[in-house]
Amino acid sequence: MADLYREQILDHSRNPHNFGEIEDPDFTYEDSNPLCGDRVRIDVKVEDGVIADIKFSGRGCAISQASASMLTDMMKGRKVDEIRELTAEDMLDELGIQISPARVKCALLGLKVLKSGAYGLTDWPHER
């Protein structure tokens, strides 16, 4: 089963979904993993409180890029408010494999960027 998830992560990193930038996003945020300098940017277009479009760009290891790709798939069409509910555990569950403590920051970079972008927009409190 872990092989299946591993394959899925490799596939997302080689052929990322929703990769690119949105020309006129309602919010955008970019951040890096301080340990390695790898970056992820996420742009979001909101319509009636719903994530109408979401794209990510950046560069980094397979786990950071795959998790950002999976996150955009997960959130497209969902309510913006649902970003607040997303936890680190949700993201790690989505990846489906055991992530070593050293790679957790890679796996959570996209989520950190998405939450930072959303909280900046609506002034929600930051979770750390």
Tell me which residues touch ligand FES (CB under 6 A): 33, 36, 38, 60-61, 63-64, 106, 109
Q: Which tokens is 109 given?
A: 């970079």
Looking at beta carbons only, is 4 or 35 nearer to ligand FES?
35
- The least distance separating ligand FES from the CB of residue 32, rounded to whole angstroms, comes to 8
Task: Return the residue matching tokens 């990510």.
Answer: 56
Looking at beta carbons only, is 40 or 54 nearer to ligand FES?
40
Looking at beta carbons only, is 60 or 117 nearer to ligand FES?
60
Q: Which tokens is 42 given?
A: 């996420």
Looking at beta carbons only, is 63 or 95 nearer to ligand FES?
63
Provide the 8-state DSSP code for 96: -
Q: How far is CA 101 from CA 10, 16, 107, in A?
A: 19, 24, 10
CB 121 within 8 A of CB 111: no
- The least distance separating ligand FES from the CB of residue 112, rounded to whole angstroms, comes to 11
Kindly tell me the number of DSSP H helices and DSSP E strands found in the chain: 5, 3
- The least distance separating ligand FES from the CB of residue 64, rounded to whole angstroms, comes to 4
